[in-house]
Amino acid sequence: MKALSINLRIAHRLVVVVGGGRVAARRASTFLSAGARVRMIAPKFSAEAHALADPQLTRVDRNYENGDLADAFLVLAATNDAKVNAAICADAHEAQILCSNAADPDAGNFTLPAAAHHGNVTIAVDTAGASPELSKKILKQLGSALDRHAGAAAETLAIMRAHTFAIAETNQRRRLRREFANLPLDMLASLSADEARSYVETALSGAQIDSHSSSTVTCASRGSRLALTQTSSVTSALENAGIKSEILTIATHADLTPNQPLSAMNAENVFVKEIEAALMDGRADYAVHSCKDLPSTLDPALQLVAISAREDPRDAFCSERFASFYDLPSNARVGTSSVRRRAQLMCLRADLEYVDCRGNVDTRLRKLRDGQFDALVLATAGMARLGATSSTVVAFEPEEIVPAVGQGALAIEMRRGESDLHAMIRQTINDRRAELEIVCERAALATLGGGCKAPIGIHAEHRDAGLIVHGIVCSHDGSQTVTARASAVVETPVQSAALGERLASQLLISGAAQLLRSASGIGLPLAGRVIVLPRTQMRESRIAPALERCGARILQVHSAEEALQVFGEQTVDMVVFASSAAVDTVGEMFPTWRVDATRPAIATMGEHSAEAVAARGVAADVIAGEPSVESLVDAVQRYFRHEVTVR
């Protein structure tokens, strides 16, 4: 029999269930979970029916009578008497009330599918009553294939849809909703309500939506004001050359975790990965990046087609109270999110407190004005592009603080093989002088094998008739540095890359290899260990860097969703709980750990957090002798040396 599948909103509606057996109890439970008021009528109720405890449920201990369906929205006939069930359905049909016959699906006008709910996402399977068992089997198969972020992602999309209707023009809404629905589910699930609405506003402000001609191409960009300002400078230049672009704004991993230190992120290429995905799946034709955000080695399917003219590549000291970096008093708070800047600044002045400071340029400068920091160190180029400033802005010379690879330049990335568009973009945007500098710097970084979490600075610049490049590799605390300098006359990118490789070789021979091994943990007591650190606060952890200095790879998680993702993607050696509150962050993992002999080791800062772990049925393997970072790190090292319980 043909049927139409619909979802009914039955919250606070009356559903009459006639019958008191197991089937009636299961159906009543389903109705209650949807928010309905349920009245069960039967002369006798099963244990399952008596077990239902809900203020919305009433039981009537008698046989069905005429008038029992008054005010009902739905009726379920589930007695063990076929004639009674038929009479109930007949009464319901006469009263124009939807009715289901549990024993004879064709006798009613609706059936209940097997269903599973994941937030706002519902999977339902119906066999028209032919085989409830088959429905459940299929439902289980579908449920196992469903992305675990789907429910939370749907809730986020509901917020984004409502905000889109509130602020977007009618002709813009469909495109925006389609763009949002194509975002990764884990990304959507991680957004708060405010972040979701902000994403809509950013996408709306960055989208150039009009009656596109066939020559319109799509440019992928991050959604910050700086990113859109930079991207607009490129799209404007291309439009003047006859290439019309629309901007597809994309939130990257780093954008969606604005309060997490970059050094603590569990992913690579956090500013570009999602943008590159849009290139590879065809949503975008080209992308505009801050060149410093790119990995030293690109995906083989992608290529850099142009480098823009370079803005000032230097880092800048910014303050509202002090005239220079060297005028700061001891213990002054200096904000920076870059491990490169921090290490070099510590080399210059180890007496200051360096604090992680994330967010866009405007946000960081506002924090400076509000007194959260005594000074910031920012990229001069970003401030210049936004026209942003502070009372004091003093640039560090490249010899003082060596800039990041590519700092100050924009990079245009495309899929390989897009020859016509490639040629037009390169002709319009590429700056030959900047390209030679950037190729040199990126070749040096690739040869060193460093990434965004390694304290490496490389800077090339044209002087006289040649190209001069100098580099620095530091320990994380700035106590050890290796520097080198090289120069050559270069006329081609191949020659420029060779110069960068020569500089990297000089650095490696001079000791950079040892520093980079130390930065990655090779040869250290916790080398190769993956440790998860559940967090309840967004401020910078003191435990994470202490364990990292011992060679461990630290993955900080702030929610159950992040924890589940981390444990699903890799083998974790240990979980470290700094407080009893942190135990709740990964609470969903404890039922598995109670029966899993291969679970990660568990370490706690002290007895209170150990008791919180024990309350969930698992004994801590490591308990610090005293509640201090030093004691905890020592206990963790002793555990891995001997793999015995440390208390």
DSSP sequence for 90-155: HHHHHTT-EEEESS-GGGSS--PPEEEEETTEEEEE--TTS-HHHHHHHHHHHHHHS-TTHHHHHH
Give me the pLDDT at residue 208, please: 39
Tell which residue, 597, 576, 594, 596, has the closest CA to residue 585: 576
Q: Which pair of tokens denotes residue 14? A: 């009356």
Q: Is 243 in contact with 223 (CB distance < 8 Å)?
A: no
* Dist. CA 39–CA 62, nearest whole Å: 12
> 10 Å Cβ neighbour count for 304?
19
What stretch of H or E contains 206?
helix 193-206
Q: Which residues does residue 602 pair with via DSSP β-bridges, in sequence order?
A: 575
**DSSP single-letter state for residue 646:** B
Q: How many other CB atoms sit within 10 Å of the CB of residue 378?
A: 24
**Token pair for residue 284?**
């975008």
Active site residue 293: yes
Q: Give the span between the Cα atoms of 113 and 519, in whole angstroms.
A: 56
- 302 exposure class (CB count in 10 Å sphere: 0-12, 13-18, 19+): middle
Distant-in-sequence, close-in-space partners of 194: CB < 8 Å, separation ≥ 6: none
Residue 630: CB atoms within 10 A of its CB come to 11
Parts of the chain with a pLDDT under 50 = 208-214, 264, 266-267
Task: Tell which phi-psi region holds residue 139, choosing left (phi > 0), alpha (psi between -120 and 50) or beta.
Answer: alpha
The runs of H, that is alpha helices, within 389-453 are 419-429, 432-448
- List the strands of the sheet with 481-488, edge to edge: 456-463, 466-474, 481-488
Strands 375-379 and 333-335: parallel
**Strand order, beta sheet including 74-77:** 57-61, 37-42, 14-18, 74-77, 98-101
> Token digits for 84?
């009674």
Task: Say which residue the tokens 């077990």 belong to.
Answer: 51
Q: How far apart are CA 551 and CA 530, in angstroms?
A: 10
- Identify the bridge partners of residue 394 per DSSP, sorted by sequence position: 317
**Residue showing tokens 């506002």:** 366
Task: For residues 621 and 395, give the distance between their C-alpha atoms in angstroms, rounded to a whole number.
Answer: 50
SS3 content of the chain, % helix, strand, coil (to 5): 40, 20, 40
User: What would the DSSP string read from start to end of 40-66?
Assistant: EEESS--HHHHH---TTEEEEES---T
Catalytic, out of 293, 315, 356, 374: 293
Q: Specify whether the backbone of 492 is left (phi greater than 0), alpha (psi in -120 to 50) or beta.
A: beta
Strand pairing of 333-335 and 353-355?
parallel
- List, in sequence order, the alpha helices (H) in 549-628: 560-569, 580-583, 590-595, 607-614
Query: What does the alpha-carbon distance between residue 62 and residue 44 come to, in Å, rounded to a whole number?
Result: 8
Sign of the C-alpha dihedral computed for residues 275, 279, 282 and 286 taken in this order: positive
| Residue-level pLDDT at 192 | 86
Query: Dihedral through CA 607, CA 612, CA 615, CA 619, nearest 10?
Result: -60
Query: What crossing angle do the helices spanning 432-448 and 493-507 adopt, rounded to 10°?
Result: 40
How many C-alpha atoms does 464 have within 13 Å on its Cβ side?
5
Q: Residue 89 is encoded by which pair of tokens?
A: 């359905």
Backbone phi and psi for residue 478, each to the nearest 5 degrees, phi listed first: 75, 5
In terms of Cβ atoms closer than 10 Å to its own Cβ (0-12, 13-18, 19+), residue 557 is buried
Contact 405, 296 (CB under 8 A): yes
Task: Determine the pLDDT at residue 356.
Answer: 84
Pairing of strands 410-415, 286-290: antiparallel
Q: CA 50 to CA 137: how far, in whole Å? A: 28
CA distance 81 to 99: 16
Across the strands, what pairs with 469? 460, 486
C-beta of residue 425 within 8 angstroms of C-beta of residue 286: yes
Cα angle at 544 between 619 and 594, to 5 degrees? Answer: 20
Distance CA 439, CA 142 (A): 49
Which domains can be identified in the chain, with CATH numbers?
A: 14-112 (3.40.50.720), 315-395 (3.40.190.10), 431-520 (3.30.160.40), 530-642 (3.40.50.10090)
Burial class (CB in 10 A: 0-12, 13-18, 19+), 131: exposed
Residues 26, 47: Cα–Cα separation, whole Å: 12
Pairing of strands 333-335, 121-125: unpaired
> Using one digit for the tens of pLDDT, what is the confidence trace for 505-548?
999 888 888 788 766 655 567 877 889 999 987 777 889 888 88
Quick one: tokens of 598? Answer: 């291969």
